[in-house]
Chains A and B, each alone.
Chain A
Amino acid sequence: MDSSRRRVLQLLGLSALGLTTKPIRDAFAQEEEQVQAQFKKGENALTAQQWAMVINTRAFESEGDLEPLIEACHKIHNVPKLENKNHEIKWIWPEPYHNAFPLKAGRFLSEEVEHRSFLVLCNHCENPSCVRACPTKATFKRESDGIVLMDFHRCIGCRFCMAACPFGARSFNFRDPRPFIRETNKQFPTRMKGVVEKCNFCAERLAVGQMPACVEASEGKLTFGDLYDPESEVRELIRTNYTIRRKQMLGTEPSVYYIV
């Protein structure tokens, strides 16, 4: 056998390569019908086919009316308050009509609508472009109730989802957010630098039978429910009011409806 240095090195390289295939061999060697870990739903958990929100924008008179809702959300989700506009983290925030609905803004608009503030947040689209873009499935659409969720521990911070989102709903942690959280809520994880985050439709609250924080704080101005339950309150509102959605023509099918 040819035992030159080159040959020995080649063999060593091949052996090293062989060792790295262990996880694959293990996967094939696994016994079938292994019991998979299962999650049990909480007893009080709220469920839906596709969660949706209806915002009655007429009920909000000024931007000040939106503050408590934003505050409620940002407080329980440990959203930091950053001074630098560029690095801002926001899950839900106010926008004027022509920014919330840039393609629908006429040049001459009802003065009242012109001055109204519109709550914007992640639309939990039925056909989300951010989920399509994510290279690691760190952002995904939950099959069970249609919420677009994020795994902060899997996110590599490539920000493809931010480019893909047509609603600017996503924020990136340009720095460690923890020093900028006024009061940490121990019930919800804080994030680290370098990952993307956004509204999660309060998945953690729905799991224990609570309505989303903003809905709770809105005193009836926001309505939350199952889009595919014809008897649900949101469907009732959509049936009886003229509603619009943000950038509907893009086909992402937003789940947040606005009564204007």
Chain B
Amino acid sequence: MLELAIKGTKRYYGWMTFLLAVIGAGFLIYLWQLNVGLRITGMSRDASWGFYIANFTFLVGVAAGGVMVVLPYYLHDYKAFGKVTILGEFLAIASVIMCMTFIIVDLGQPMRIFNVFLYPTPNSVLFWDTVVLSGYLLLNIVIGWNVLEAERNNVHYQQWLKPLIYISIPWAISIHTVTAYLYCGLPGRGFWLTAILAPRFLSSAFASGPALLVLLCLIIRRVSNFDPGREQIQSLAKIVAYAICVNVFFFLCEVFVVFYSQIPEHMDHFKYLFVGLHGKGAYVPWMWASLILMVIGIILTVNPITRKNEGVLAVACMVIFFGTWIDKGLGMISGGFTPNPLHHINEYIPTLPEITIALGVWAMGFFILTVLFKIAVGVKEEVRA
């Protein structure tokens, strides 16, 4: 089926060339980082994780969010999603690959990464994260590819895929739960030390993943002869609406606990993010923007009039995607590290090289996503014709 990816319009090739250029720029800067070390990033002894891990965390959510089209189709027999499950699975593949790349670019000694498998350590959550992420990638490649090939050949997919499909559903939940456990099990990091972190991550995942899918469906309809369908897009939009509401609700639960209990260890991080602490507050505008974006997202997706207007829906999905990116990416990581365990305030600001590398990884993800979607759409067009 790969051949479908190399036959395209000028616009398709233009887009791919653009992505390759961004990947190239990111890769060159990465070579520099590999050579001189992580000193070219804004990370420090206090904020020991930054932009890379923030994007990693967010993208695990996007990957898990793909399950929101798989689950209704296979568990609830919601036929309409049969048309778009492949898009969810392929989005998951691209996202997990981005996640893994973000982990690799964040490592101080990337050439030693296989030590994780050479000395497996079940008590480390990072070990489990590697296991669930690779497993999820494998599941989606096997399922997505075989189901699509069966569709192309006009046959029912192989029976042995069925158990894998069922496994992939709780597996999607697991990748984001384990990713939350990376943070919420650490003593002395008051911002993350909360049982709501994994549910919060999941709710934000089920908003951002399907929101991106809605946008991708709208793009596919414009650039190809395959229409993912109005009903499908509307159903996805309802999922986004519920998930973003739950996400903001969970956030408010956290805010209540933190500010009613008034425990400084937990409160100081929120203060730093939303009003600034001891004169430092680079993230204040970002965090308020995130909240406002998510609230706008709620208004636009919950209200049936705005949701049913696909133009407005597209805006709502973009707003939600960026809002959750700030919330779970940018703020979640730097907020957890500031103030540091000794209550020093050392702000983390990503540097230009760091952002360029991150953009390169995103471009790589979109390159893979475009190839996969091109194949999927190609098959759909073929079958219809």
B43 touches A137 (CB 8 A): no
Q: Is the interface of A mostly helix, strand, loop or mixed?
A: loop
In the complex, which of the residues B48, B115, B125, B346 contacts A159, with contact meaning CB atoms closer than 8 Å? B48
Residues of chain A at interface, number, CB under 8 A: 49
Does B29 lie at the interface of the complex (its beta carbon under 8 Å from any beta carbon of A)? no
Which residues in window 123-139 of A have CB below 8 A to B?
129, 132-138
Chain B residues closer than 8 Å to A174, beta-carbon distance: 37-39, 41, 43-44
B343 touches A102 (CB 8 A): yes
Residues of chain B at interface, number, CB under 8 A: 46
B107 touches A85 (CB 8 A): no
Does B182 lie at the interface of the complex (its beta carbon under 8 Å from any beta carbon of A)? yes
In the assembled complex, the Cα of A88 lies from the Cα of B110 at a distance in Å of 22
In the assembled complex, the Cα of A8 lies from the Cα of B300 at a distance in Å of 55
A157 touches B109 (CB 8 A): yes
A193 touches B108 (CB 8 A): yes
A172 touches B45 (CB 8 A): yes
Chain B residues closer than 8 Å to A155, beta-carbon distance: 108-109, 112
In the assembled complex, the Cα of A163 lies from the Cα of B346 at a distance in Å of 15
Chain B residues closer than 8 Å to A88, beta-carbon distance: 45
B124 touches A133 (CB 8 A): yes
Known A156-B113, A168-B340: A194·B125 in contact at CB below 8 Å = no
State which of B18-26, B184-192, B285-293, B314-322 sits at the interface with chain A.
B184-192
Which residues in window 17-34 of A have CB below 8 A to B?
none
State which of A58-66, A181-189, A232-240, A245-253 sits at the interface with chain B.
A245-253
A163 touches B48 (CB 8 A): yes
* Chain A nearest Cβ from B360, distance in angstroms: 20
Chain B residues closer than 8 Å to A132, beta-carbon distance: 123-124
User: Chain B CB within 10 Å — which of A120, A135, A137, A167 has the most?
Assistant: A135
A154 touches B119 (CB 8 A): yes
In the assembled complex, the Cα of A136 lies from the Cα of B126 at a distance in Å of 9
In the complex, which of the residues B42, B49, B116, B343 contacts A135, with contact meaning CB atoms closer than 8 Å? B116
Subset of 29 A-B contacts with CB under 8 Å: A87-B44, A99-B342, A100-B342, A129-B187, A133-B186, A136-B116, A136-B118, A136-B119, A137-B119, A138-B115, A157-B38, A157-B107, A157-B109, A158-B107, A159-B49, A160-B125, A163-B49, A163-B183, A165-B188, A166-B186, A167-B188, A172-B45, A172-B48, A173-B37, A174-B43, A176-B36, A192-B109, A195-B109, A252-B187
Residues of A within 8 A of B (CB): 84-88, 95, 98-100, 102-103, 120, 129, 132-138, 154-160, 162-168, 171-176, 192-196, 247, 250-252
Known A136-B121, A162-B45; further 10 A-B contacts with Cβ < 8 A: A133-B186, A156-B109, A163-B186, A164-B186, A166-B341, A168-B46, A172-B108, A176-B36, A193-B108, A251-B187
Residues of B within 8 A of A (CB): 36-39, 41-46, 48-49, 103, 106-110, 112-113, 115-116, 118-119, 121, 123-127, 130, 182-183, 186-189, 265, 336-337, 340-344, 346
Top 4 closest A-B pairs, CB basis? A157-B108, A166-B188, A194-B108, A86-B44
